[in-house]
Amino acid sequence: MRLYSLVVYVFLYAPIAIIALFSFNAGRHASDFQGFSIQWYGRALNNPFVMDALETSLIVAFITATLASILGTLAAVGLQGLRGPARAIFDALIYIAVMIPGIVIGIATLIALVTVFDVMNPWIENLWGDADNAPTLSMGRGSLIAAHTMFTMALVIIIVRARLGTLEQSLGEASADLYATPLGTFRQVTLPLIAPAVLAGFLLSFTFSFDDFIIAFFVAGSETTLPIYIFSSIRRGVTPEINAIGTMVMLASLVLLIVAQLILRRGDRT
């Protein structure tokens, strides 16, 4: 059994270790280690295409995480008051949203948005009057953010709900008893107490959005996020530069995930 788990771990982590190792390769081939160097990191960071893609990814991830934490928190708080079958249905829908494969979300969002855009664009043209200069809805940053927010919001709801579940119900009653309006109670009692969960949800959403390739591939339109850039450059052959980018992305994601975990744990202690 011990040997078996060892083999599993090797299978899981060896490819990642090799990517990290070869990112320090002095040679220009991914399969042939020719000595230690960090030149590929410099190359990657000086590549304007990489930096553009990184910027897009960061902006999309930040807006996604912000929207998802706000909407997800409000949804979680709203769902608190719900009991019975309605609650079970909402719970199931939220978990399903997390479990649905990215490719399904990607295709579904693409089809839905294209359909909506096809209906909306002629309308907007008519309303605008000047058909040539009328704004048109199309795939791009907006659709990418929308798709990511929908998906990561479910994560935030799950995390915040778990935290809300640990709070004593009488805290809300005590606040109301001390003359606080429902909004005042939310602002002064609920929000400070669930803040760690909201922050952890933000970081997780950021990471998920930043790392996502499948959904972005379908709905990003002409935008290039970092994962999309990596995918398209791999088609031209794996270079140590890609390894360096991959290693950096992995490290950043790992740090964010660990920070999110730490925040959640600290939150539980109070």
Partner 1 sequence: MKYDRGVLNDASTAVAELRHVSKRFGDVDAARDLNLSVASGEFLSFLGPSGCGKTTALRMLAGFETPSDGEVLIDGAVVNTLEPFRRPVNMVFQSYALFPHLSVFDNVAYGLRQRRPRLSRAEIAEKVSRTLDVVRLGDFGARRIWEMSGGQQQRVALARAIVNEPKLLLLDEPLAALDRKLRKAMQIELQDLQRQLGITFILVTHDQEEALSLSDRICVMRDGRIVQIGTPRELYDAPASRYVADFVGSSNFLEGRIGRITSGHADFTGVSGHSFSGQAGPGIEEGASGTLSLRPEQINISRRQLEGGHAVTVQNRIFLGEHTEYVVRHDEIGTFIVLASRRAEDREPPLDAGTQAYIAWNPDAALILRAD
Footprint on this chain of partner 1 (rule: CB under 8 A)? 168, 170-171, 173-181, 184, 188-189, 192-193, 270
- Report, in Å, the least distance between residue 205 CB and partner 1: 24
- Report, in Å, the least distance between residue 164 CB and partner 1: 14
Sign of CA dihedral 156, 158, 159, 164: positive
Measured from the CB atom, is 222 or 270 closer to partner 1? Answer: 270
DSSP per residue, 200-238: HHHHHHHHHHHH--HHHHHH-TT---HHHHHHHHHTT--
Are the C-beta atoms of 20 and 240 separated by less than 8 Å? no
Measured from the CB atom, is 195 or 250 closer to partner 1? Answer: 195
- Report, in Å, the least distance between residue 85 CB and partner 1: 16
Measured from the CB atom, is 149 or 175 closer to partner 1? Answer: 175
At 31, phi and psi to the nearest 5? -105, 0
Measured from the CB atom, is 18 or 193 closer to partner 1? Answer: 193
CA distance 64 to 152: 8
Residue 36 forms beta bridges with which residues?
25
CA distances from 194 to 13, 248, 260, 269 (A): 34, 31, 13, 12
- Report, in Å, the least distance between residue 185 CB and partner 1: 8
- Report, in Å, the least distance between residue 196 CB and partner 1: 10
- Report, in Å, the least distance between residue 206 CB and partner 1: 25
Measured from the CB atom, is 42 or 184 closer to partner 1? Answer: 184
Measured from the CB atom, is 15 or 192 closer to partner 1? Answer: 192
Q: Residue written as tokens 């760690």?
A: 196
Are the C-beta atoms of 196 and 163 separated by less than 8 Å? yes
Closest CA to 192 of 184, 204, 203, 181: 184
Closest CA to 98 of 201, 191, 167, 12: 201
Measured from the CB atom, is 21 or 174 closer to partner 1? Answer: 174
Q: Which DSSP symbol is given to 186?
A: I
- Report, in Å, the least distance between residue 195 CB and partner 1: 9
